[in-house]
């Protein structure tokens, strides 16, 4: 049996790059910085802006030329790189915390 919603069809989802949607929305400039993550063991806090900076550092490391210590990845060939990690925030913070 096919059930049809009594509500109208939702509008189509716009094609959005999730990285830009999460980290580069214009209204974020006016946001107060806030605590995004608290390490349960150390109590160390990481703010939203610090996390964004860590993401940008990671992207730079992936895209920097091998001769400069990076991995030399680029989007010119249309490939996409995904990073899957159970503790990506913890790993990034452990390396770059003040």
pLDDT at 34: 93
Cα–Cα distance between 41 and 90 in angstroms, integer?
11
Report which of residues 88 and 75 the model is more confident about.
75
Predicted confidence band of residue 7 (pLDDT cuts 50, 70, 90):
very high
pLDDT at 29: 87
Burial classification of residue 46, based on how many CB atoms lie within 10 Å of its CB (0-12 exposed, 13-18 middle, 19 or more buried): buried
Instruction: Report d(CA 25, CA 2) in Å as an integer.
Output: 39
pLDDT band, residue 18 (cuts 50/70/90): confident
User: What is the average per-residue pLDDT within 51-68?
Assistant: 86
């Amino acid at each position: 049996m096919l059930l049809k919603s009594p509500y109208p069809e939702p509008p189509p989802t716009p094609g959005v790059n999730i990285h830009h949607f999460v980290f580069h929305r214009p209204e974020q400039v006016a946001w107060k910085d806030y605590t995004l993550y608290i390490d349960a063991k150390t109590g160390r806090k990481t703010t939203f802006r610090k996390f964004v900076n860590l993401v940008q550092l990671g992207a730079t490391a992936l895209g920097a030329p091998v001769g400069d210590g990076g991995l030399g990845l680029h989007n010119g060939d249309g490939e996409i790189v995904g990073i899957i990690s159970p503790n990506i925030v913890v790993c990034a913070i452990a390396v770059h915390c003040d």
